Amino acid sequence: MVSALSMDPVQIRFYTRKGCHLCKKALTVLQELQKEFKFRVQLVDIDGSPRLVELYGQDIPVGEMEGREIFRHRIRKPAMREILRERLEN
C-alpha cells in the first residue's frame, strides 16, 4: 500500500533574497533539473523574517530537502542531480 505522503512531490525549500546573484544561478540549475525530476521549489525570501536574516544573513542561497540542507552558496548540478536521483528513484 502506498501512502498519500509518498505520492506528494519532493519539495526543496530555497532560501533567497533580492539582488542575490548566486541565488539566480542556483534557481536556474533547479529549474533545469525540474525537466528531469519531479520536485517543487518553495522560494523563501529571508528578508521577510528577522529570524531568517539572523540565521542565514549573507549565507545564501541555501536549499533544504526534507529538513536536511542539500546546498549552500553554490549549487553543483551533478551533485544535485545525484541527490535527487537517490531520493526519487529509490
Tens digit of pLDDT for each residue in 36-80? Answer: 999 999 999 999 999 999 999 999 999 999 999 999 999 999 999
For the domain made up of 11-88, the CATH class stated in words is alpha beta
Q: What is the pLDDT of residues 17-34, one digit of tens each?
A: 999 999 999 999 999 999
pTM of the model: 0.86
Task: Put the strands of the sheet holding 39-45 in their side by side order.
Answer: 39-45, 10-16, 62-65, 68-72
Cell triple for 49:
523574517
Helices and strands, counts by H and E, the chain = 4, 4
Q: Measured between alpha carbons, how far is 34 from 3 in angstroms, rounded to an integer? A: 23
Nearest to 15 by CA among 40, 41, 39, 50: 41
